[in-house]
C-alpha cells in the first residue's frame, strides 16, 4: 500500500478521534446503542485540538505527496508502475478529496450536530 494511502487512513482515524466526543454519541444512539458509558466519550473533548492538528498535518502531507509529485521526486516513474498510470493518479486524488470531505464533516460535527439533537 502506498505511503499516501497510509496517510489518508491516518487522517480519517484522527478525524474520527476529533469527532468522537460530539458525533460519537449521536451515531451510537441513532443505531440503537445506548448506555451510561456513552457519556464517557465527552472526556475526550480536551484532546480534540490535538486530534485536529494531527488531521491537518497528515492531510497536508498526503496532499503534498499526491498533488506535487515533482517536488517529492516521483516525476521519474518507470513505465508500468502505479505512479505512471494516470487512472491511478486520478483515483488517488479522488480518494484524497473524499477523505478530506469526510474529515471536515467529522471535525465540524459540534456545529452541525445541533440540528439533529
Q: What is the pLDDT of residues 43-97, one digit of tens each?
A: 777 878 888 888 888 888 888 888 876 654 555 666 666 666 788 888 888 988 9
Per the CB < 8 A criterion, the answer to whether 44 and 20 are in contact is yes
User: What angle is formed at CA 81 by the lines to CA 79 and CA 86, rounded to 5 degrees?
Assistant: 80
Confidence at residue 86, expressed as pLDDT on a 0 to 100 scale: 80
- Find which of 13-17, 38-42, 52-56 is predicted with most confidence, using mean pLDDT: 52-56
Q: Answer yes or no: is pLDDT of 103 > 60.
A: yes
What is the per-residue DSSP string for 13-78?
HHHHHHHTTTHHHHHHHHTT---GGGGGGGGGGGGHHHHHHHHHHHHHHHHHHHH-TTTTT-SSPP
Q: In angstroms, what CA-CA distances link 29 with 23, 98, 102, 103?
A: 10, 25, 20, 21
The structure's pTM equals: 0.67
pLDDT higher at 18 or 62: 62
Q: Answer yes or no: is pLDDT of 110 > 60.
A: yes
Domain edges within the chain: 3-115
pLDDT higher at 32 or 69: 32
Handedness of CA 57, 62, 64, 67 (dihedral sign): negative
Q: In angstroms, what CA-CA distances link 11 with 39, 60, 75?
A: 25, 10, 25
Amino acid at each position: 500500500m502506498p505511503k499516501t494511502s497510509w496517510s489518508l487512513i491516518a487522517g480519517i482515524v484522527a478525524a474520527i478521534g476529533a469527532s468522537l466526543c460530539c458525533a460519537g454519541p449521536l451515531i451510537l444512539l441513532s443505531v440503537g446503542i445506548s448506555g451510561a458509558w456513552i457519556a464517557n466519550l465527552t472526556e475526550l473533548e480536551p484532546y480534540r485540538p490535538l486530534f485536529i492538528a494531527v488531521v491537518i498535518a497528515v492531510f497536508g502531507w498526503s496532499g503534498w505527496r499526491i498533488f506535487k509529485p515533482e517536488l517529492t521526486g516521483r516525476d521519474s516513474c518507470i513505465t508500468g508502475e502505479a505512479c505512471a498510470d494516470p487512472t491511478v493518479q486520478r483515483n488517488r486524488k479522488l480518494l484524497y478529496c473524499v477523505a478530506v470531505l469526510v474529515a471536515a464533516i467529522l471535525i465540524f460535527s459540534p456545529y452541525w450536530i445541533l440540528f439533529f439533537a
